[in-house]
Amino acid sequence: MDRRKSLKAMVAGTVTSGFMFSSCLTDTEETSVANVETPTEGDNNYDTTRTKEELAYEKELRAKDAFFTEHELATLTILADIIIPAEGEYSAASQVGVIEFISFIVLDMPHHQLPLRGGLMWLDHESNRRFNKVFKDVSSEQQIEIIEDIAYPEEVKPEHTQGERFFSRLRDLVSTGYFTSEEGIKYLGYVGNTPNVWDGVPADVLAQYNMEYDQRTLDICIKPEERNEIANWDNYEV
């Protein structure tokens, strides 16, 4: 099973963001929920499910300086595309806004900042130790060699424990960002609250109860091509 299919199986049937972010918290990190009032008026830029406090908080976050350096962003981009590469009609993770998502999340959830920055430093140190270059500057083959040593928690060596913890956290964040993007949702095959085409009660079920549709009902009701039209029941008789 390839990386995409493994991640797809992991998030299928799960509330993605809740599942992913809960796995990113350590034993000492807690989530908090604020008691806020629903705004009386909507905001033109958001739907009315957002509270005034939420809108003000997001505006405050977006006004902050970026946490990651250009070097760190370049490294994160490479890592994200290793975790979820391009495949067929689907883009790599970095091409659907995953890096921007992570950049925002570390401002919204600061407990990710130190582990991610420390992990990136560990990665560069390990790359320098092996190849005398930072991670983003070594070959793709050399990058994969390092990743293979930290990507499988059950197989990681003691000297790579810090790298494994970093990569597991990053994998969760990349997966969350990707599978909550428009393309990621499409890749999962999730259609949400979308009506399907109904062609009536199956014939074998009707026969079980000695029933059948009359032709007029079929003509008026069982027409998928007219599913969005309102039926006219004037003068209809059973």
User: Which residues contact residue 142 at a Cβ distance below 8 angstroms, ignoring those fewer than 6 apart?
Assistant: 127, 130, 131
C-alpha 110/C-alpha 32 separation (Å) is 13
What is the pLDDT confidence band of residue 215, given thresholds at 50, 70 and 90?
A: confident
pLDDT above 60 (res 175):
yes
Q: Which of 158-167, 196-205, 214-223 has the highest mean pLDDT?
A: 158-167
Question: Average pLDDT of 190-195?
Answer: 74
What's the rounded mean pLDDT across residues 208-231? Answer: 76
What is the DSSP-derived secondary structure letter of residue 209?
T
Structure-block tokens of residue 9: 């199986």
How many other β-carbons are positioned within 10 Å of the β-carbon of residue 13? 9
pLDDT in tens, 4-44: 566 555 555 444 444 454 444 454 454 444 444 444 554 45
Tens digit of each residue's pLDDT (9 = 90 or more) over 84-136: 999 888 999 999 999 999 999 999 999 999 999 999 999 999 999 999 999 99
**pLDDT the model gives residue 33:** 42
CA distances from residue 36 to 33, 57, 74, 94 in whole angstroms, order as listed? 9, 12, 38, 34
Contacts of 29 (CB under 8 A, 6+ apart): 111
CB 121 within 8 A of CB 109: no
